[in-house]
């Protein structure tokens, strides 16, 4: 059977209108290239009703769901705990964590019919921590825990639930964060050197890992696939104590 894909992008502000155009262009490109077919659906993943609609539209279009990939998320600019408000933390929880829970909740009745699977995109920092990013790190750590809890719950339905924890991957988000620093080029170079491999990961490498979990990893459930180029290994300059 040929694969079909539904993917989403947010609909929240004028600033993201270009994202819609990019989504529509991506849909056209995938449909031209094949194999299978692809549908871009506008959806603000921070809104429960829109997530519900996304799942309904997908099932109306394709008749079933084999795999849900929860990926939408945001890393706010680095900020200390002292400077972070409760509202900022709650909004990030809503986007980065609750959206994954709700999309899973609405997709599960269909995934159970097909013995399908869920892939949650977490982050390496959910396990190793990160400076001035307590809310983000908390949302990503919670995704790993939720993945394990859902893997337990859904095993009786033969639905696998796994997550991927990327380290540094060059994406528009990484570029956006680097651009906020004094020297973006130097920041990117430092980001590259954080890996044993001396480079960042690519979006294509994340895609390959997701396809592996979705299609081939039939004895894996509740796992956290770390995709980090070895960033968590070896000693580094880690002390935060002022000299």
Ligand X SMILES: NC(=O)c1ccc[n+]([C@@H]2O[C@H](COP(=O)([O-])OP(=O)(O)OC[C@H]3O[C@@H](n4cnc5c(N)ncnc54)[C@H](O)[C@@H]3O)[C@@H](O)[C@H]2O)c1
Nearer to ligand X by Cβ, of 51 and 111: the residue is: 51
Joined together, the tokens standing for residue 188 give: 């990117």
Nearer to ligand X by Cβ, of 153 and 176: the residue is: 176
> Does the annotation count 136 as an active-site position?
yes
Find the binder of ligand X among 27, 40, 41, 46 (CB under 6 A).
Answer: 46
Q: Does 146 bind ligand X (CB under 6 A)?
A: no
Q: Does 160 bind ligand X (CB under 6 A)?
A: no
Nearer to ligand X by Cβ, of 77 and 158: the residue is: 77
Find the binder of ligand X among 95, 98, 118, 210 (CB under 6 A).
Answer: 95
Q: Which of 243, 125, 137 is nearest to 191 (CA)?
A: 125
Find the binder of ligand X among 117, 168, 195, 221 (CB under 6 A).
Answer: 168
Vertex 124: Cα angle to 202 and 221 (nearest 5): 95
Are the C-beta atoms of residues 85 and 62 closer than 8 Å to each other?
no
Find the shortest distance in angstroms from Cβ 102 to ligand X: 12
Q: Does 228 bind ligand X (CB under 6 A)?
A: no
Nearer to ligand X by Cβ, of 108 and 121: the residue is: 121
Joined together, the tokens standing for residue 57 give: 């539209």
Q: What is the DSSP letter of 169?
A: B
Which of 64, 110, 136, 235 is catalytic? The answer is 136
SS3 161: strand
User: Helical H runs in the chain?
Assistant: 17-33, 48-62, 86-93, 99-114, 125-128, 134-154, 172-179, 184-193, 203-211
Which residues of the chain form contacts with ligand X (CB under 6 A)? 8-10, 12, 19, 43-46, 71-75, 95, 121, 123, 166, 168-169, 171-174
């Amino acid at each position: 059977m040929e694969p079909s894909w539904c993917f989403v992008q947010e609909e929240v502000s004028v600033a993201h209108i270009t994202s819609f155009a990019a989504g529509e262009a991506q849909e056209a490109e995938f449909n031209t290239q094949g194999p299978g077919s692809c549908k871009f659906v506008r959806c603000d993943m921070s809104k429960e009703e829109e997530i519900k609609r996304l799942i309904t539209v997908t099932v109306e279009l394709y008749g079933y769901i084999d795999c849900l990939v929860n990926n939408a998320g945001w890393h706010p600019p680095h900020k200390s705990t002292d400077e972070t408000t409760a509202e900022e933390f709650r909004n990030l929880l809503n986007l980065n964590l609750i959206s994954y829970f709700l999309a899973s909740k609405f997709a599960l009745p269909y995934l159970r019919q097909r013995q399908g699977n869920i892939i949650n995109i977490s982050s390496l920092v959910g396990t190793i921590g990160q400076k001035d990013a307590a809310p983000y790190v908390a949302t990503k750590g919670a995704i790993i825990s939720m993945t394990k809890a859902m893997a337990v719950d859904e095993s009786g339905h033969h639905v696998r639930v796994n997550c991927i924890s990327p380290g540094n991957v060059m994406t528009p988000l990484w570029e956006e964060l680097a651009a906020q620093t004094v020297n973006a080029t130097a920041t990117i170079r430092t980001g590259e050197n954080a890996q044993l491999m001396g480079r960042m990961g690519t979006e294509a490498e994340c895609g390959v890992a997701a396809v592996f979990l979705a299609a081939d990893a039939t004895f894996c459930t509740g796992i956290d696939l770390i995709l980090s180029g070895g960033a968590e290994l070896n000693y580094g300059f880690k002390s935060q104590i002022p000299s």
